[in-house]
Amino acid sequence: NPMLKRMQVPSKNLEIVYEDSWLSVINKPAGMLSVPGKEDAVSVYSLMRGQYPEADGPLTVHRLDMATSGLMLIAKTKRVHQNLQAQFKNRLVRKRYVALLEGVVPKDKGTVDLPLCLNPLDRPRQMVHTEHGKPAITDYQVLERLDGKRTRIAFYPRTGRTHQLRIHAAHPLGLHCPIIGDELYGKKAKRLYLHAEYLEFTHPITGETVRITKEAEF
Protein backbone atom coordinates (compact mmCIF):
# COMPACT_ATOMS: atom_id res chain seq x y z
CA ASN A 1 0.00 0.00 0.00
CA PRO A 2 1.75 3.20 -1.17
CA MET A 3 -0.26 5.17 1.39
CA LEU A 4 1.50 3.36 4.23
CA LYS A 5 4.93 4.02 2.75
CA ARG A 6 4.66 7.79 2.56
CA MET A 7 3.22 8.26 6.03
CA GLN A 8 5.32 10.09 8.55
CA VAL A 9 4.99 7.72 11.46
CA PRO A 10 5.88 8.82 15.01
CA SER A 11 7.13 5.31 15.66
CA LYS A 12 7.29 2.92 12.73
CA ASN A 13 6.56 -0.09 14.91
CA LEU A 14 4.05 0.00 17.72
CA GLU A 15 5.25 -1.64 20.89
CA ILE A 16 3.66 -5.08 21.06
CA VAL A 17 3.17 -6.04 24.69
CA TYR A 18 1.61 -9.47 23.99
CA GLU A 19 1.13 -11.49 20.84
CA ASP A 20 -0.03 -14.92 19.68
CA SER A 21 -1.53 -16.33 16.46
CA TRP A 22 -4.97 -14.83 17.09
CA LEU A 23 -4.48 -11.48 18.74
CA SER A 24 -2.01 -8.95 20.04
CA VAL A 25 -2.01 -6.18 22.62
CA ILE A 26 -0.17 -2.98 21.74
CA ASN A 27 0.88 0.06 23.74
CA LYS A 28 -0.63 3.06 21.93
CA PRO A 29 1.44 6.25 22.22
CA ALA A 30 -0.32 9.43 23.37
CA GLY A 31 -1.27 11.55 20.36
CA MET A 32 -1.96 8.68 17.93
CA LEU A 33 -5.40 7.93 16.53
CA SER A 34 -6.89 4.48 17.20
CA VAL A 35 -8.54 4.37 13.77
CA PRO A 36 -7.93 6.67 10.79
CA GLY A 37 -9.94 9.88 10.87
CA LYS A 38 -8.46 11.58 7.83
CA GLU A 39 -7.21 9.26 5.11
CA ASP A 40 -3.50 9.83 5.56
CA ALA A 41 -3.45 10.12 9.35
CA VAL A 42 -1.35 7.45 10.98
CA SER A 43 -3.40 5.30 13.32
CA VAL A 44 -3.06 2.09 15.27
CA TYR A 45 -5.30 0.52 12.63
CA SER A 46 -3.15 1.59 9.66
CA LEU A 47 0.09 0.48 11.32
CA MET A 48 -1.34 -2.89 12.34
CA ARG A 49 -2.86 -3.36 8.89
CA GLY A 50 0.69 -2.96 7.55
CA GLN A 51 2.07 -5.33 10.18
CA TYR A 52 -0.56 -8.05 9.65
CA PRO A 53 -1.40 -7.94 5.92
CA GLU A 54 -2.85 -11.47 6.13
CA ALA A 55 -5.32 -10.61 8.90
CA ASP A 56 -8.94 -10.96 7.82
CA GLY A 57 -10.35 -9.17 10.86
CA PRO A 58 -11.19 -5.50 11.41
CA LEU A 59 -8.22 -5.56 13.84
CA THR A 60 -9.11 -2.86 16.36
CA VAL A 61 -11.54 -4.19 18.96
CA HIS A 62 -11.97 -0.99 21.00
CA ARG A 63 -10.60 2.55 20.95
CA LEU A 64 -8.64 4.90 23.13
CA ASP A 65 -8.93 8.67 22.77
CA MET A 66 -6.14 10.07 20.61
CA ALA A 67 -4.62 11.81 23.64
CA THR A 68 -4.71 8.68 25.84
CA SER A 69 -1.86 6.17 25.86
CA GLY A 70 -1.92 2.52 26.74
CA LEU A 71 -3.12 -0.97 26.01
CA MET A 72 -5.25 -1.75 22.97
CA LEU A 73 -6.44 -5.17 21.82
CA ILE A 74 -5.89 -6.16 18.19
CA ALA A 75 -7.75 -9.14 16.69
CA LYS A 76 -6.24 -11.00 13.75
CA THR A 77 -9.39 -12.86 12.64
CA LYS A 78 -13.07 -11.94 12.32
CA ARG A 79 -14.06 -14.67 14.77
CA VAL A 80 -11.66 -13.44 17.44
CA HIS A 81 -12.77 -9.84 16.79
CA GLN A 82 -16.45 -10.74 17.30
CA ASN A 83 -15.69 -12.64 20.50
CA LEU A 84 -13.61 -9.83 22.00
CA GLN A 85 -16.16 -7.16 21.03
CA ALA A 86 -18.87 -9.19 22.75
CA GLN A 87 -16.70 -9.35 25.88
CA PHE A 88 -16.40 -5.53 25.85
CA LYS A 89 -20.11 -5.10 25.21
CA ASN A 90 -21.03 -7.45 28.05
CA ARG A 91 -18.55 -5.73 30.39
CA LEU A 92 -16.45 -8.85 30.81
CA VAL A 93 -13.17 -7.06 30.08
CA ARG A 94 -11.49 -5.60 33.16
CA LYS A 95 -9.57 -2.37 32.64
CA ARG A 96 -7.47 -0.13 34.81
CA TYR A 97 -6.30 3.35 33.90
CA VAL A 98 -3.83 5.55 35.71
CA ALA A 99 -4.11 9.34 35.64
CA LEU A 100 -2.61 12.44 37.19
CA LEU A 101 -5.25 14.90 38.36
CA GLU A 102 -5.02 18.62 38.99
CA GLY A 103 -6.07 19.02 42.63
CA VAL A 104 -6.45 16.71 45.61
CA VAL A 105 -9.11 14.01 45.78
CA PRO A 106 -10.09 13.75 49.47
CA LYS A 107 -11.59 10.23 49.53
CA ASP A 108 -9.23 7.26 49.16
CA LYS A 109 -11.66 5.37 46.96
CA GLY A 110 -15.18 5.57 45.67
CA THR A 111 -17.46 5.52 42.65
CA VAL A 112 -18.52 8.26 40.24
CA ASP A 113 -21.93 7.65 38.67
CA LEU A 114 -22.79 10.44 36.21
CA PRO A 115 -24.73 9.69 32.98
CA LEU A 116 -23.19 11.15 29.82
CA CYS A 117 -24.21 12.23 26.34
CA LEU A 118 -22.81 14.38 23.54
CA ASN A 119 -23.19 18.12 23.97
CA PRO A 120 -24.77 18.96 20.59
CA LEU A 121 -23.89 22.66 20.94
CA ASP A 122 -20.25 22.00 21.81
CA ARG A 123 -18.93 18.98 19.90
CA PRO A 124 -16.86 16.90 20.59
CA ARG A 125 -17.45 17.60 24.29
CA GLN A 126 -19.69 15.25 26.20
CA MET A 127 -21.86 16.42 29.07
CA VAL A 128 -23.55 15.09 32.18
CA HIS A 129 -27.30 14.77 31.59
CA THR A 130 -29.61 12.88 33.95
CA GLU A 131 -32.40 12.57 31.37
CA HIS A 132 -30.64 11.92 28.05
CA GLY A 133 -27.29 10.60 29.29
CA LYS A 134 -26.32 6.94 29.07
CA PRO A 135 -25.19 5.28 32.32
CA ALA A 136 -21.50 5.93 33.04
CA ILE A 137 -19.89 4.45 36.15
CA THR A 138 -16.26 4.66 37.27
CA ASP A 139 -14.69 3.17 40.39
CA TYR A 140 -11.53 4.92 41.55
CA GLN A 141 -8.72 4.49 44.04
CA VAL A 142 -6.24 7.20 45.02
CA LEU A 143 -2.65 5.96 44.60
CA GLU A 144 -0.87 9.00 46.03
CA ARG A 145 -1.36 12.68 46.72
CA LEU A 146 1.53 14.72 45.41
CA ASP A 147 2.72 18.01 46.98
CA GLY A 148 -0.83 18.86 48.08
CA LYS A 149 -1.66 19.88 44.50
CA ARG A 150 -2.03 16.74 42.42
CA THR A 151 -3.46 13.25 42.75
CA ARG A 152 -2.24 10.04 41.13
CA ILE A 153 -5.28 7.84 40.73
CA ALA A 154 -6.41 4.48 39.36
CA PHE A 155 -9.70 4.34 37.43
CA TYR A 156 -11.72 1.15 36.96
CA PRO A 157 -14.44 2.04 34.44
CA ARG A 158 -17.52 -0.20 34.58
CA THR A 159 -18.88 1.35 31.38
CA GLY A 160 -17.06 2.69 28.33
CA ARG A 161 -18.61 6.01 27.37
CA THR A 162 -16.77 8.61 25.30
CA HIS A 163 -14.58 10.80 27.53
CA GLN A 164 -16.02 9.03 30.60
CA LEU A 165 -12.89 9.17 32.77
CA ARG A 166 -12.09 12.72 31.69
CA ILE A 167 -15.52 14.05 32.67
CA HIS A 168 -15.85 11.96 35.82
CA ALA A 169 -12.53 13.46 36.95
CA ALA A 170 -13.27 17.07 35.97
CA HIS A 171 -16.99 17.54 36.69
CA PRO A 172 -18.00 19.34 39.92
CA LEU A 173 -20.38 16.45 40.70
CA GLY A 174 -17.54 13.99 40.05
CA LEU A 175 -14.03 14.36 41.48
CA HIS A 176 -13.78 18.05 40.52
CA CYS A 177 -10.10 17.47 39.65
CA PRO A 178 -9.50 17.43 35.87
CA ILE A 179 -6.88 15.14 34.37
CA ILE A 180 -3.69 17.14 33.79
CA GLY A 181 -3.38 18.05 30.12
CA ASP A 182 -7.07 17.65 29.33
CA GLU A 183 -7.68 20.35 26.72
CA LEU A 184 -11.44 19.71 26.63
CA TYR A 185 -12.30 19.58 30.33
CA GLY A 186 -9.23 21.02 32.03
CA LYS A 187 -6.02 22.80 30.98
CA LYS A 188 -3.48 22.09 28.27
CA ALA A 189 -0.17 20.46 29.25
CA LYS A 190 2.61 18.50 27.58
CA ARG A 191 0.22 15.56 27.19
CA LEU A 192 -2.99 14.14 28.62
CA TYR A 193 -1.87 12.23 31.71
CA LEU A 194 -4.17 9.26 31.20
CA HIS A 195 -2.88 5.76 30.46
CA ALA A 196 -4.63 2.41 30.04
CA GLU A 197 -2.29 0.21 32.06
CA TYR A 198 -4.16 -3.08 32.56
CA LEU A 199 -6.42 -5.34 30.51
CA GLU A 200 -7.94 -8.65 31.56
CA PHE A 201 -10.03 -10.73 29.19
CA THR A 202 -10.83 -14.34 28.25
CA HIS A 203 -8.81 -15.63 25.32
CA PRO A 204 -11.37 -16.35 22.55
CA ILE A 205 -9.58 -19.52 21.42
CA THR A 206 -7.92 -21.04 24.48
CA GLY A 207 -10.49 -19.89 27.05
CA GLU A 208 -7.69 -18.82 29.40
CA THR A 209 -7.74 -15.56 31.34
CA VAL A 210 -5.20 -13.15 29.84
CA ARG A 211 -3.86 -10.36 32.06
CA ILE A 212 -1.67 -7.67 30.53
CA THR A 213 0.00 -4.76 32.33
CA LYS A 214 1.98 -1.87 30.87
CA GLU A 215 2.81 0.79 33.43
CA ALA A 216 2.49 4.47 32.62
CA GLU A 217 5.62 6.45 31.79
CA PHE A 218 4.61 9.33 34.04
Kindly list the domain boundaries of the chain, sorted by start residue.
2-91, 96-194
Residue 12 banded pLDDT, cuts 50, 70, 90: low
Task: Decide if 50 contacts 4 (C-beta within 8 A).
Answer: yes
Give the torsion through C-alpha atoms of 124, 129, 135, 139, to 10 deg. Answer: 80
- CATH assignment of 2-91, among 3.30.70.260, 3.30.2350.10, 1.10.287.70, 3.70.10.10: 3.30.2350.10
Do the two domains 2-91 and 96-194 of this chain adopt the same fold? yes
Higher model confidence: residue 217 or residue 13?
217
List b or e across 110-139, with b for residues whose CB sees 16 or more CB atoms inside 10 angstroms.
eebebbbbbeeeeeeebbbeeeebeebbbe
Q: What are phi and psi of 109, to 5 degrees?
A: -155, 165
With a pLDDT cut of 90, the percent of the chain lying above it is 85
Rounded distance between C-alpha atoms, residue 126 and residue 163, angstroms? 7
When pLDDT is averaged across residues 165-188 and rounded to a whole number, the result is 98
Residue 1: per-residue pLDDT: 45
pTM, 2 dp: 0.92
Q: Could you give the residue numbers annotated as active site?
A: 65
The neighbouring-strand residues paired with 43 are 33
Q: Prior bond to 172 cis, omega within 30? A: no
- Looking at the predicted structure, is the pLDDT value of residue 5 above 70? no
CATH level 3 topology of 96-194: Pseudouridine synthase (3.30.2350)
